[in-house]
Amino acid sequence: MNRKLVVMLSVLLVVVTCSATHSKLKAEPAQQTAASLSPKKAEEQFKNIQVLKGIPADQVFPTMQFIAASLGVECDFCHVQNAFEKDDKKPKQTARKMVEMMFAINKDNFQGNRGVTCYSCHRGNAHPMAIPAVLTEDTKEPMGAPHRSEERKAGESLKEAATTTADQLLDKYIEAIGGASAVDKINSRVMKGTIDFGGRSLPIDVYAKDPEKRISFTHMADGDSVTAFNGQEGWMELPDTPCAKCTAAISMALPSMLTFISQPI
């Protein structure tokens, strides 16, 4: 009797152990699958990431592209070519400080929302202008021999140009292209040219449509780099990289960088 009980208990123990092992083996692949599906963070895929830790790795390139466009520079302004992780260039150190400052401003003044970006101050310039350019007073003509008539006429033309307002220039431009009615009919634009990237000149096609819709194709040796914005959200696709949706912060900042003017001048 005792022997039968021992045998039964042994069989039961084996069954329970096998069941537990099977459940564990079944759970491990599920955990591995979930981990493999979760997107990598920037610091997990790229070297020497400091202020952009925590963002998805597929948002690093769109972020860098946005910063470069905001400053009107190329990658090598901050990075060492073919060694992007190096800190040899001072502008890269400055850029990190500026990004930290931007984060602090948005946190303290805009409830953490992206109210301020690089473009807010730089407007396509490497060094933002703290003081707007203004017209200074005319300099007094020095004493000396009288000017010749040609020089006098040239001076009068320059003086007239200097006193022409921006509104007057825009009015002349609108008149030259057919008037305000012609401008109102423009709702799309196609631009073709080249862009300097990493020391290379690459062809680029830009298609824009009112209001604030834009897609660009940069033709690279290994495929096209595509950036798109539908008026509310942005996407980016790199060669051998699936199309990725831009973060809300980048999507919100894209409209200010569109080359297409959606409203009549």
Supply the DSSP string of 70-109, one letter for each residue.
HHT--GGGTSBTTBTT---SHHHHHHHHHHHHHHHHHHHH
Residue 133 maps to a domain: no
Strands 213-220 and 234-237: unpaired
Rounded Cα distance between 120 and 102, Å, is 10
Give the pLDDT confidence score for residue 92 in this predicted structure.
92
Mean pLDDT for the stretch of residues 32-60:
80
pLDDT one-digit tens code per residue, 122-168 = 888 888 877 666 655 555 555 555 555 555 666 666 666 667 788 88
Mean pLDDT for the stretch of residues 68-92:
87
| Average pLDDT over the chain, rounded to an integer | 74
8 A C-beta contact, residue 75 and residue 198 = yes
Tokens 């798109």 -> residue = 228
Residue 98 maps to a domain: yes
Rounded Cα distance between 109 and 114, Å, is 10
Which pLDDT band holds residue 259 (cuts at 50, 70, 90)? very low
Quick check: 222 pLDDT over 90? no
Of 94, 122, 150, the position where a domain reaches its end is 122
Higher pLDDT, 135 or 40: 40
Give the pLDDT confidence score for residue 147 in this predicted structure.
52
Which pLDDT band holds residue 24 (cuts at 50, 70, 90)? low
Of 122, 153, 171, the position where a domain reaches its end is 122
Burial (CB count <10 Å: 0-12, 13-18, 19+), residue 214 = buried
Q: What is the SS3 assignment for 114?
A: coil
Quick check: 101 pLDDT over 90? yes
Give the pLDDT confidence score for residue 30 in this predicted structure.
54
Domain hosting 94: range is: 55-122
Give the whole-number percent of the chain exceeding pLDDT 70: 62
Give the count of domains, the chain: 2
Query: Tokens standing for 255?
Result: 């409209």
Peptide bond preceding 91 in cis form (omega within 30 of 0): no
Residue 171 maps to a domain: no
Of 71, 95, 122, the position where a domain reaches its end is 122
Residue 37 maps to a domain: no
Residue 1 maps to a domain: no
Residue 189 maps to a domain: yes
Residue 19 maps to a domain: no
Residue 84 maps to a domain: yes
Give the pLDDT confidence score for residue 256 in this predicted structure.
53
pLDDT one-digit tens code per residue, 172-188 = 888 898 888 888 888 88
Give the pLDDT confidence score for residue 218 in this predicted structure.
85
Model confidence, pTM: 0.48
Give the pLDDT confidence score for residue 50 in this predicted structure.
92
